[in-house]
Amino acid sequence: MRIALDFAPMLAQWPLLLLGAAWTLGLTAISTLLGGIIGTGCAWARARGAAPLRLAVGAYVELIRNTPFIVQLFFIFYGLPAAGVLLSPVTASILAMTINLGAYATEIIRAGIVTTPRGQIEAGESLALSRVQVFLHVVLPPALKRVWPALVSQIIIVMLGSAVCGQISVEELSHAANLIQSRNFRAFEAYILATAIYLVLAIGVRRLLYWAGPRFVFGR
Amino acid sequence: MVDFTLWDIVRNLLLAARWTVILSVIAFIGGGLAGLILLVLPLTGNRVAELAIGGYVQVFQGTPLLMQLFLLYFGIALFGVDTSAWTAACAALTLYSSAYLTEIWRGCVASIPRGQWEASSSLALSFGQQLGHVILPQALKVAVPPTVGFLVQVIKGTALASVIGFVELTKAGGMIANVTYQPMLVYGCVALIYFALCFPISLYAGSLERKLNVGRR
Amino acid sequence: MSAAADPAPAPDTVLATPHTEVGAPIVRITALRKSYGDHEVLKGIDLDVMRGEVVAIIGKSGSGKSTLLRCINGLEVFQEGSLIVDGKPLLHDSALAMRELRQRVGMIFQSFNLFPHLTVGRNVMLAPRLVKKRNAAENEARARKLLERVGLAEKFDAMPDQLSGGQQQRVAIARALAMDPGVMLCDEITSALDPELVGEVLRVVESLAEEGMTLLMVTHEMNFARKVADRVIFMHQGRVHESGAPDAIFGAPQTPELKQFLSSLHD
Ligand SMILES: Nc1ncnc2c1ncn2[C@@H]1O[C@H](COP(=O)(O)OP(=O)(O)OP(=O)(O)O)[C@@H](O)[C@H]1O
Ligand SMILES: [Mg+2]
């Protein structure tokens, strides 16, 4: 038996794939930024906040971490309009990815925060820094440094997870593959190509974040 | 149009959730067995196996599970074999699990101090004996919490099988949402059922982890 | 020290009978060279160890002492030269030959390396059961006797993490003895111990020496080396730089390197 694979018609579709990859990266970048902020805030709330706040954040984190991303996305995109919240596919995707990453980032960053040596905080406070200043300048940078590898892995998981956003017709990479295969009926080749691009993106983003972390996020 | 009570919705979702559970169990066990083989092969010092398995893990962890599902769905068809969404989902999730479990377990084996390998080889134990009597029993203890934790990831992963048309919990949710015009309620219920499946496992994994850490001090 | 913890030398010997005739070297190392990448760590070692001989290896950190010991039981692969133990050459490529060799060579590590998931008794019984297929009753009797020999008879069912470092190291000695090795390699076996625990381990080693066990030991305990060793080898930069009887080595060192090494110990 012979299996004939033909990638030539695929390569002709490169602008679509490129655009798809750009969307994937764009969605990831925005939700990383927003999710990182949520994660940091919630991590602080969970580690040092008042009891009800801790409980609320805990509920958010567990709810998100114990349900599939696709269900979260569908709830936001298909479910929320019933409550009068109509979102475009792109907005719904960004919202879902942000909320999802925020929950995981909370746990990851919290793990970094709680391992801060007591003396560091005391040293900061004895220099008359405010609680917020101590958190932002003394506790957070080394905490992020400690958990950076885990955080980067999670960002990549969210990026790869964004493939389902194509299901609500966001024109990201998997959607591009879908479109191509519906035009030329070469599904396998289309998905192979898209998958390979995802792999390259995953490796590239990991490299980029490992490079960027010490320079822009937590200092050396 | 028929009216659906909440109970109708939940009952149908629960029936579909059976398939989520079955698919998860198959993928977890199949992936575990495959993962064990992939774990042991490179330990024998076979460089080629080590590189190949490293690549395998990298590919499965570096690409979307959704793409893996599509590839198996359309890939098996290329061989002229009639694929159902069910076979493709089982195969894809099994491969996916094997890659993750191998990686998790590799970390556990690597965490066993080198001295344990050296002491057991200086006592003339064979490779199999070292593995079976010295290394794996110790690695197993460390491996249980993350392995249980990974089960949650598998259960969540099965939701993607809905995209290739396998009717499990998520797919059933979509179908019911379409006929009831109550997407918020339906997806809310779907989410809660996943939560009910996953959260106890997460809690259990967490408590195992804490026990292990206490035991280590 | 309590009577129970004191390793009383057992009257009856528990050592194995030799494989080769008395008088032949049990370890014969010829022109052995070993490198890590471009870094040559052993630069041609020649060394014969006779049956029943106790050889102490001394030298600066990084001089290759551990590497030499680890080559002898095949934990490290060397590039040139030959190594014969008990008449059998060491062949890295043959797993079977390697296991043969390791049954003749026992090793005791600086960090004990007891198996933490097994009781003390099982630590001692594991290898004889798996490798020598010794029957259960005999194996247990033997293990109990060896533990008694190192003064730990009552610890048979204890877990390793319930023991002090000195006790763990004595279990490790019993575990190695259980395989009836012809040679024992000891790499700084007291270096990880609190000072007050060093004595109990050294006493066990000394009694082994008295019973005629062939010992190759890397040690920083110069007094012990002087007292117990038949021969002392000073290693320097991957070579056997000077060797001889303890009195000669410590009392009348010949080379400036050894003189410097010995005087550095006193500051
Ligand atoms: N696995 C390894 N890879 C590369 N180099 C190594 C390795 N093990 C040892 N070396 C190098 O080989 C040299 C000899 O090391 P070895 O451990 O034999 O010294 P040693 O005499 O036992 O020293 P010490 O008294 O500190 O134990 C050192 O320069 C060391 O850096
Ligand atoms: Mg050493």
pLDDT reported for residue C11: 40
* Beta-strand pair C231-236/C54-59: parallel
Question: How many percent of chain A have pLDDT more than 70?
Answer: 98
Contact B194 A79 (CB under 8 A): no
**Residue ranges of domains in chain B:** 6-211
The amino acid that residue A75 corresponds to is F
C89 backbone dihedrals φ, ψ, rounded to 5°: -70, 150
Q: Ligand 1 in contact with C238 (CB < 6 A)?
A: no
* Residue spans of chain C under pLDDT 50: 1-14, 18-20
In this prediction, residue B54 has a pLDDT band, given cuts at 50, 70 and 90, of very high
Edge-to-edge strands of the sheet including C25-36? C39-50, C25-36, C80-85, C88-89
| pTM of the predicted protein model | 0.86
What is the B94 CA–ligand 1 centroid distance (Å)?
44
C95 neighbourhood in chain B, CB within 8 Å: 126-127
Q: In this structure, are residues B30 and B98 in contact, taking their beta carbons and an 8 Å threshold? A: yes
Contacts of A13 (CB under 8 A, 6+ apart): A176, A180, A183, A184
Nearest residue on chain C to B128, judged by CA atoms?
C130
Q: How far is CA A130 from CA A81, A117, A137, B12, in A?
A: 43, 18, 10, 55
C100 neighbourhood in chain B, CB within 8 Å: 124
Report the mean per-residue pLDDT for chain B: 93
Cα distance between residue A58 and residue A134, in whole Å: 23
pLDDT reported for residue C22: 55
Q: Ligand 1 in contact with C66 (CB < 6 A)?
A: yes
pLDDT reported for residue B169: 96
Neighbours of A62 (CB within 10 A): 17
pLDDT reported for residue B2: 59
* Residue spans of chain A under pLDDT 70: 1-4, 220
The amino acid that residue B142 corresponds to is V
Q: Is the pLDDT of residue B50 over 60?
A: yes
pLDDT reported for residue B66: 97
B71 neighbourhood in chain A, CB within 8 Å: 188, 191-192, 195
pLDDT reported for residue C95: 84
Cα distance between residue B98 and residue B105, in whole Å: 10
pLDDT tens-digit profile of A14-65? 899 999 999 999 999 999 999 999 999 999 999 888 999 999 999 999 999 9
Neighbours of B58 (CB within 10 A): 15
For A25-217, the fitting CATH number among 1.10.3720.10, 1.10.10.10, 3.30.420.40, 1.10.1200.10 is 1.10.3720.10
- Say what angle helices A187-212 and A14-48 make with each other, to 10 degrees: 50
pLDDT tens-digit profile of B131-142? 999 999 999 999
| ipTM surpasses 0.90 | yes
pLDDT reported for residue C13: 46
pLDDT reported for residue C257: 94
- Give nearest CA residue, ligand 1 atom 6: C36
pLDDT tens-digit profile of B3-48? 778 899 999 999 999 999 999 999 999 999 999 999 999 888 788 9
Q: For residue C47, which of C258, C241, C257 has the smallest C-alpha distance?
A: C241
For B6-211, the fitting CATH number among 3.30.70.2520, 3.90.190.20, 1.10.3720.10, 1.10.1670.10 is 1.10.3720.10
Cα distance between residue B76 and residue B80, in whole Å: 7
C240 touches B: beta carbon within 8 Å: no
Q: Is the pLDDT of residue B217 over 50?
A: no
pLDDT tens-digit profile of B78-100? 887 778 899 999 999 999 999 99
Contact B70 A187 (CB under 8 A): yes
Contact B202 A66 (CB under 8 A): yes
